[in-house]
């Protein structure tokens, strides 16, 4: 480990490992099979890249998409690591040269797709070189219980058959306990070490709102992030095209991405986003896995995903560099109706599992509590802090009703009067005093609870019902979502428990939320002491350098490195090496230019250099 730490310091410029990285690395060095779950931005790649450099031979990395291979190999080569990939973008001559380099021991990390790795020709070739180990990236793809199951990943079970004495390591950002067991079983791992990091991403600010005016809500987020990279997820291709066109008309550099576009158009748009020629990508869920872009500052979901696993993975594209980023979700009840209609086509067992997963997503949207806590508890973990200071609730951006208890009692009383036999939609009709034929025919217009909330519109009351479900005061049962009262709901009736409900808006409007977005704890800390003028000067230098070299800017240096440079303002090569994320090769290659930008800015603005930590 001491030798490996020196490699990490020299190559990547890091003096210490993040939580669980050292444990995961020790499993690789010990030759133990392993399953490692670390959140996006938690440093999974280093867990196999670093030991590959400390061990003899070539490590083989399985990567699902060409774009992801290119980004990771480009970043490794930039840091001075002998890495290569073999995929369809290479000519036959280039593939032969790479094979020669691997045979000669000149390649430490070889990236392959699962389809190419499991061909007989590739397996025969690998048997001749004897890989140091196999690393399976995005390993959740092997599980049908994962959110992005890919049948081609199942072929990786061949590895243990052909290489029984070679360790196999599975890495993913999102995996429930069930998915982790499935990964180990499908890969035939032998007594694997399992490491699961915290699912919490404290640098992400989560905000959830009911979708009212989609473009106005999206525009508000985009306007908070001028000249910053962002991803906007839409549920349908038509929505992607519409939102993208609207953003372009507003003057934003936005491009679409969905399966209806030609392959070359999708590739071109993705590359433009990665290389910062486009700042915003508007996409369906087909986009994302192949993105290693570290400086995405916002992710918007214009509709609710079908699972919290999907949401965590997709929102996790933001803030991979550990700096603050915003994740906004705009949902509608229609989103869940659409997902449920799809579930009807599934076999009974699969439909039941999918319904439970969707309920978790709906509960997150309508829940009245800390978003970070809701996410980590879904994955079986806990959050120590009472307030995360990184979500709309904990930043007090959500206005709660003063009469939550009375309103909740009216709703739950109505559920009781209806003998817990109807769904949320019908219950809301009774509460607003509907004279619809069905209500009158059943005599429910004679109930004492009929019209108790007639001052509000149906959607408002429907929202409150979902909020009570989200807080466990009501549950939905059966195929039709019949409302039933829980023990907590009975405590509401007795006045022993007060739920939280959003403040009502004017009739026909949306639930009130503070117009002011507050600064998160992460944002305050990450900008503390940073000279923003110098940061922008460094960004401009990076942009020009990346353009000249044909590389994504974040591969030259991430935003976190630039902020540290703008905070500590080094003026010597030795001081430059104290900046986390600057290794020896990058110092030698870019150091002189970096120091020139820093020193010139400080001289022009009368600032001191070489600030102490």
Do 42 and 17 meet the contact criterion of CB atoms below 8 Å apart?
A: no
CA–CA distance from 29 to each of 50, 56, 133, 159 (Å)? 10, 11, 10, 19
Report pLDDT for 285.
80
Higher pLDDT, 270 or 516: 270
146 pLDDT higher than 80:
no
pLDDT category at 140 given cuts 50, 70, 90 is confident
HSE toward the beta carbon, residue 59, CA cutoff 13 A? 31
HSE toward the beta carbon, residue 189, CA cutoff 13 A? 29
Do 256 and 240 meet the contact criterion of CB atoms below 8 Å apart?
A: yes
Report pLDDT for 152.
80
* DSSP conformation class of 387: -
User: Average of pLDDT values for 568-593?
Assistant: 94
Q: What is the 3-state secondary structure (H, E, C) of 15-54?
A: CCCCCCHHHHHHHHHCCCCEEEECCCCCCHHHHHHHHHHH
478 pLDDT higher than 80:
no
Task: Say yes or no: do domains 204-378 and 404-494 share a fold.
Answer: no
DSSP one-letter string for 54-112:
HSSS-EEEE-S-HHHHHHHHHHHHHTT--EEE-STTS-HHHHHHHHHHHHTT--SEEEE
Report pLDDT for 45.
92
Report pLDDT for 507.
40
Task: Report the CATH architecture of 404-494.
Answer: Orthogonal Bundle (1.10)
Q: Nearest-CA neighbor of 203 among 90, 39, 67?
A: 39
Higher pLDDT, 80 or 385: 80
d(CA 418, CA 411): 11
d(CA 148, CA 552): 26
Tell me, rounded to whole angstroms, the distance of Cα 255 from its chain centroid: 20
Report pLDDT for 344.
81
User: Which of 23-27, 196-200, 406-410, 598-602 is the least confident region?
Assistant: 196-200
Q: Nearest-CA neighbor of 37 among 210, 179, 245?
A: 179
Report pLDDT for 288.
60
User: Average of pLDDT values for 3-29?
Assistant: 90
User: Average of pLDDT values for 144-163?
Assistant: 81
Give CATH for domain 2-196.
Answer: 3.40.50.300
516 pLDDT higher than 80:
no
Contacts of 403 (CB under 8 A, 6+ apart): none
pLDDT category at 148 given cuts 50, 70, 90 is low
pLDDT by residue (tens digit) across 523-537? Answer: 888 899 999 999 999
DSSP one-letter string for 499-536:
---BPP-STTS---B-SPPPPPHHHHHHHTT--HHHHH
Report pLDDT for 17.
87
Do 85 and 110 meet the contact criterion of CB atoms below 8 Å apart?
A: yes
Report pLDDT for 82.
96
Report pLDDT for 16.
85
Higher pLDDT, 510 or 260: 260
Report pLDDT for 290.
57
Report the percent of the chain where pLDDT is more than 90. 68
Report pLDDT for 512.
44
188 pLDDT higher than 80:
yes
d(CA 313, CA 362): 17
Q: Which two tokens stand for residue 178?
A: 């069930």
Q: For the chain, which residues make up each domain, given as ranges?
A: 2-196, 204-378, 404-494, 529-605
Provide the 3-class DSSP secondary structure of residue 318.
Answer: coil
pLDDT category at 509 given cuts 50, 70, 90 is very low
508 pLDDT higher than 70:
no
Give CATH for domain 529-605.
Answer: 1.10.150.80
Tell me, rounded to whole angstroms, the distance of Cα 381 from its chain centroid: 17
Report pLDDT for 161.
93
400 pLDDT higher than 90:
no
Provide the 3-class DSSP secondary structure of residue 541.
Answer: helix
Residues in the chain: 613
User: Average of pLDDT values for 538-553?
Assistant: 94
Q: Nearest-CA neighbor of 12 among 72, 66, 78?
A: 78
CA–CA distance from 114 to each of 30, 35, 223 (Å)? 25, 17, 40
Angle at 27 between CA 309 and CA 382, to 5 degrees: 35
Do 498 and 411 meet the contact criterion of CB atoms below 8 Å apart?
A: no
* DSSP conformation class of 398: B
Question: Which CATH superfamily does the domain covering 204-378 fall into?
Answer: P-loop containing nucleotide triphosphate hydrolases (3.40.50.300)
d(CA 444, CA 523): 52
Higher pLDDT, 356 or 552: 552
Higher pLDDT, 312 or 325: 325
pLDDT by residue (tens digit) across 162-184? Answer: 999 999 999 988 777 888 999 99
408 pLDDT higher than 90:
yes
User: Average of pLDDT values for 67-76?
Assistant: 88
pLDDT by residue (tens digit) across 114-127? Answer: 999 999 999 999 99
* DSSP conformation class of 140: G
d(CA 476, CA 481): 4
Helix (H) or strand (E) holding 566: helix 559-568
Mean pLDDT over all residues of the chain?
Answer: 90
CA–CA distance from 589 to each of 78, 80, 551, 584 (Å)? 10, 10, 15, 9
User: Average of pLDDT values for 90-110?
Assistant: 95
The phi and psi torsions of 74 (rounded to 5 degrees) equal: -60, -45
pLDDT by residue (tens digit) across 21-61? Answer: 999 999 999 999 999 998 777 788 999 999 999 999 999 99
Report pLDDT for 40.
74
Beta strands 109-112; 59-62: pairing state: parallel
Do 579 and 569 meet the contact criterion of CB atoms below 8 Å apart?
A: no
Angle at 77 between CA 76 and CA 83, to 5 degrees: 75
């Amino acid at each position: 480990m001491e030798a490996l730490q020196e490699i990490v310091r020299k190559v990547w410029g890091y003096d210490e490992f993040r939580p669980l990285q050292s444990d995961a690395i020790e499993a690789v060095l010990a030759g133990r099979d392993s399953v490692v779950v670390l959140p996006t931005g938690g440093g999974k790649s280093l867990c196999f890249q670093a030991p590959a450099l400390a061990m003899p031979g070539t490590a083989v990395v399985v990567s699902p998409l060409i774009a992801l291979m290119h980004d990771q190999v480009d970043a490794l080569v930039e840091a001075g690591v002998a890495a290569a990939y073999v995929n369809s973008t290479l000519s036959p001559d280039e593939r032969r040269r790479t094979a020669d380099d691997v045979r000669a021991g000149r390649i430490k990390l070889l990236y392959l797709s699962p389809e190419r790795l499991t061909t007989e020709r590739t397996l025969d070739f690998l048997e001749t070189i004897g890989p140091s180990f196999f690393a399976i990236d995005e390993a959740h793809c092997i599980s049908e219980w994962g959110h992005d199951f890919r049948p081609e990943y199942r072929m990786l079970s061949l590895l243990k058959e052909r290489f029984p004495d070679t360790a196999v390591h599975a890495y993913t950002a999102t995996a429930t306990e069930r998915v982790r067991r499935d990964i180990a079983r499908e890969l035939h791992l032998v007594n694997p070490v399992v490491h699961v990091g915290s699912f919490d991403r404290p640098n992400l600010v989560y905000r959830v709102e009911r979708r009212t005016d989609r473009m106005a809500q999206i525009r508000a987020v985009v306007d908070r992030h001028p000249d910053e990279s962002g991803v906007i997820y839409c549920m349908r291709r038509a929505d992607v095209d519409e939102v993208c066109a609207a953003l372009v008309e507003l003057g934003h550099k936005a491009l679409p991405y969905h399966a209806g576009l030609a392959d070359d158009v999708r590739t071109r748009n993705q590359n433009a986003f990665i290389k910062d020629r486009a700042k915003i990508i508007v996409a369906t869920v087909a986009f994302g896995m192949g993105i290693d872009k570290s400086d995405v500052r916002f992710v918007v979901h214009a509709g609710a995903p079908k699972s919290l696993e999907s949401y965590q993975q997709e929102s996790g594209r933001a803030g991979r560099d550990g700096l603050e980023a915003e994740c906004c979700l705009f949902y509608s009840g229609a989103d869940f109706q659409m997902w449920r209609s799809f579930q009807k086509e599934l076999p009974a067992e699969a439909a039941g599992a999918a319904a439970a997963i969707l309920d978790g997503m709906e509960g997150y949207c309508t829940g009245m509590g800390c978003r970070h806590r809701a996410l980590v508890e879904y994955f079986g973990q806990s959050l120590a802090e009472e307030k995360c200071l990184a979500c709309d609730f904990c930043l007090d951006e959500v206005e709660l009703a003063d009469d939550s208890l009375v309103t909740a009692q009216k709703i739950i009383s109505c559920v009781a009067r209806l003998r817990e036999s109807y769904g949320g939609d019908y219950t809301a009709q009774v509460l607003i005093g509907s004279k619809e034929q069905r209500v009158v025919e059943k005599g429910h217009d004679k109930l004492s609870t009929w019209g108790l909330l007639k001052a509000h519109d149906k959607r408002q009351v429907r929202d409150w019902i979902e909020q009570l479900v989200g807080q466990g005061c009501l549950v939905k049962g059966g195929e039709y979502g019949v409302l039933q009262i829980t023990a907590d709901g009975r405590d509401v009736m007795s006045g022993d428990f007060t739920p939280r409900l959003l403040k009502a808006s004017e009739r026909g409007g949306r639930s009130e939320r503070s117009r002011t977005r507050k600064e998160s704890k992460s944002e305050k800390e990450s900008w503390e002491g940073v000279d923003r003028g110098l940061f922008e000067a460094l960004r401009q230098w990076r942009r020009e350098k990346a353009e000249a070299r044909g590389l994504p800017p974040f591969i030259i240096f991430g935003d976190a490195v630039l902020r540290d440079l703008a905070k500590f303002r080094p003026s010597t090569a030795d001081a430059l090496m104290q900046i986390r994320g600057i290794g020896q090769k990058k110092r030698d290659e870019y150091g002189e230019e970096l120091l020139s930008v820093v020193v010139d800015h400080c001289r022009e603005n009368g600032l001191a250099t070489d600030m102490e930590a």
